[in-house]
Amino acid sequence: MQIPAPFDYVRATSVDNALELLSRHGAESRVIAGGHSLLPMMKLRLSRPEWLIDINDLYELDFILRDGDKLRIGALTRHTTLLESDEIAALFPIVRDAEAVIADPVVRNRGTIGGSLCQADPAEDLSTVCDVLGAEAVIRGPAGERILAMADFHRGPYETAVGQDEMLCEVRIPVRPRSGSAYEKVERRVGDWAVGAAGASVTLAADGTIADAAVGLTALGLDHTIAGAADLLRGQQPREELFVEAGRLAAAACDPVADQRGPIDYKRHLADELTRRVLRQACTRAAQTQEG
């Protein structure tokens, strides 16, 4: 049994209460959602919060809502809920692609989208998913609510724009017609963190050319989406040479580190290979929604 350092624990009763507790207990307090990132770090004593503020009773943060041209997802929505949602799978197939390869059912039953995004581990799959879908983060704090684009939300590995006395409450994803998306990950074993992964989202114009596109990489040393990918793809008919070109761009854009999952050259190759695959798949899916 791995034993964390001593800590105190309190269950929040509402978002306001959670925010109040965060302010009261200060710098050494942490929100705990699914606990599947925080608890392992505490057990290894890499993280030593003095207070855990449990937000698992905040059902108000556990929802999936269609609101005009946005899909709103509460921060406490579990991986399993995202995986099983047919509405999400129809609008954003990338989410089901990614969720199917995040950890295992035990972790997915507890882990949340809010926890994933706030953990901001470079290997977190949902960060890439939200990046390429152009999601926004709704953050609340003592000063009220603010809404940030993903590019502003993520500040680098393990760092986000969420302040110590703030909480991520919601993720909003724009719903665009004629769009398709896809995610593919290479892992050493089911449930392992990515050796490398790529996600893509594509919107087609009425004539079948690419109107907009975004490609992101997971665990390959790239924050946000690949700069230049959208410019390369926009206005073009989806075709293999284009995907190859985008793959090349991805390989050049990434900056992976060598570790037990693989050396740099392999990871760079994955950036290329997986980018081609997800773009191919995203375009196929976008074309299908166009037909449908």
Partner 1 sequence: MTIIHERPSNPAAGDEDRPIGYGRIQRKEDPRFVRGKGNYLDDIVLPGMLHGAILRAPVAHARLVSIDTTNALAHPKVLAVITGKDLLGLKLAWAPTLSADVQAVLVTDKVRFQGQEVAFVVAEDRYAARDALELIDVEYDVLPPVIDARKALDADAPVIRDEIEGKTDNHIFDWEIGDKAETEAVFASADVVVSQEMVYPRVHPAPMETCGAIADFDAVDGKLTLYETTQAPHAHRTLFAIVAGIPEHKIRVVSPDIGGGFGNKVGIYPGYILAVVGSIVTGKPVKWVEDRSENLMSTSFARDYIMQGEIAATRDGKILAVRTNVLADHGAFNATAQPTKNPAGFFSIFTGSYDLKAAYCSVTGVYTNKAPGGVAYACSFRVTEAVYLVERMVDILARKLEMDPAELRLKNFIKPEQFPYANKTGWVYDSGNYEPAMRLSMQLAGYDELRREQREKRERGELMGIGISFFTETVGAGPRKHFDIVGLGMADGAELRVHPTGRAVVRLSVQSQGQGHETTFAQIVAEELGIPPEDIDVVHGDTDQTPFGLGTYGSRSTPVSGGAVALVARKVREKAKLIAAAMLETRPEDLEWEKGRWFVKGDPGAGKTISEIAMAAHGTMTLPEGVDGNLDAEITYDPPNLTFPFGAYICVVDIDPGTGHVKVRRFIAVDDCGTRINPMIIEGQVHGGLTDGVGMALMEIIEFDADGNCLGGSFMDYLIPTAMEVPDWETGFTITPSPHHPIGAKGIGESATVGSPPAIVNAVVDALAPYGVVHMDMPCTPARVWAAMQGRARPPI
- Which stretches of the chain bind ligand FAD, using CB under 6 A? 30-38, 40, 75, 79, 102-103, 107, 110-112, 114-116, 118-119, 124-126, 162, 167-168, 191, 193
* 221 near partner 1 (CB under 8 A): no
Bridge partners (DSSP) of residue 74 are 170
Q: Tell me the per-residue interface mask from 106 to 135 with partner 1, x by CB under 8 A, - otherwise.
A: ------------------------------
Helix 240-253 to helix 264-291 angle (10° resolution) is: 140
- Please report the sign of the dihedral spanned by the C-alpha atoms of residue 184, residue 188, residue 189, residue 195: negative
Task: Indicate which single residue of 9, 27, 28, 44 sits in contact with partner 1 (rule: CB under 8 A).
Answer: 44
Task: Indicate which single residue of 55, 138, 182, 186 sits in contact with partner 1 (rule: CB under 8 A).
Answer: 186
Of the two residues 150 and 197, which places its CB atom closer to partner 1 in the complex? 197
* 206 near partner 1 (CB under 8 A): no
CB of 169 to ligand FAD, least distance (A): 7
Of the two residues 117 and 233, which places its CB atom closer to ligand FAD in the complex? 117
Q: Tell me the per-residue interface mask from 59 to 88 with partner 1, x by CB under 8 A, - otherwise.
A: ------------------------------
29 binds, among ligand FAD, partner 1, none (CB under 5 to 8 A by kind): none
CB of 267 to ligand FAD, least distance (A): 16
